Amino acid sequence: MDIVIAAAQYPITQHKSFKDWKLHIERWVADAAGQNAQLLLFPEYGAMELVSIFSEEIRQDIRQQVKELDSINADFCEVFSDLAKKYNTVIIAPSIPVIESGKNVNRAYVFSGKGLAGYQDKFFMTRFENEEWGIQSGEKNLTLFEASWGNFGIQICYDVEFSLGSQILGSAGASLILAPSCTETIRGATRVHIGARARALENQVYAVVSQTVGHALWSPAVDINYGFAAFYCTPDKDMPEEGIISTMTPQTEGWLIEPVDFSKIEAVRNDGQVFNYNDHQQLKNGFLQEEVRIIRKFV
């Protein structure tokens, strides 16, 4: 079954108030929905632009920002829940720091026409997140989102550079891996895109990347951003030979929109030139001291 997916190249912009931000984010959603997109992917830490509505003192204190953002989390979720219902879309909201059981985690919420469907917390922290920002690894739960058109999972930025999550999600039934990302440099963006392409190959899935772009020099956390959106697949029968469906010009803002056909994933898994997905099932992947659980949510 086909579905139209929109991946954002999203700039971190300043806003005068929460109301102004709400109008801004609706314009983005309306634009994608107006192009028939059924699933919208925003990037990692796109929600950090909300820090612009706080005082200058908070803007310059990256650890205090987490507490302030957590205080408006319910309002943030309400906005995306309402937009998903209004435009009848599935929205992976820009990830936002959340305080959960005393831990600061990086969380991507998912909303559908039914409201909040679930979320995915990031497993692997970059050095900046861990050493400077105080963001910690989330509980080792992977959410498999199940829809009428197919199943998908989320691997936030650095997570997609490891095979662990995508393999478990693929084995559980995912045909699509979404990789919301926020990187500063060409090197950082490249690592994410290489990871997404590898995950598409290993698991014979679609992998879609959304990244932040441009500068937000008022923010010490997400001041410099380099990235581009992309759609990848396994290079196999009836798929692009290089495994690249499409990419967008780096550092421009907007949506990259593509239809994807999940029947092609089923076809290559059953009768591809190679059997990466099936052969991957012979491998055991996991943390040494923690068990990863699959949680199923319907969207």
Output the pLDDT for position 284: 85
Output the pLDDT for position 209: 98
Output the pLDDT for position 2: 87
Output the pLDDT for position 21: 98
Between CA 70 and CA 89 the distance in angstroms is 25
Pseudo-torsion of CA 263, 266, 272, 275, nearest 10°? 160
Which pLDDT tens digits describe the chain residue by residue (299 residues)?
Answer: 789 999 999 999 999 999 999 999 999 999 999 999 999 999 999 999 999 999 999 988 989 999 999 999 999 999 999 999 999 999 999 999 999 999 999 999 999 999 999 999 999 999 999 998 999 998 999 999 999 999 999 999 999 999 999 999 999 999 999 999 999 999 999 999 999 999 999 999 999 999 999 999 889 889 999 999 999 999 999 999 999 999 999 999 999 999 999 999 999 999 999 999 999 899 888 899 899 999 999 99
The number of folded domains in the chain is: 1
**Which residue segment(s) compose the domain that 167 sits in?**
2-298
Report the CATH number that the domain containing residue 207 is assigned in CATH: 3.60.110.10
Task: Please classify residue 238 by burial: count the beta carbons closer than 10 Å to its beta carbon, then call 0-12 exposed, 13-18 middle and 19+ buried.
Answer: exposed
Pseudo-torsion of CA 17, 20, 51, 93, nearest 10°? 140
Output the pLDDT for position 198: 98
Output the pLDDT for position 221: 87
Cite the DSSP H helix spans in the chain.
18-34, 56-59, 62-71, 73-87, 127, 163-172, 186-203, 262-271, 276-280
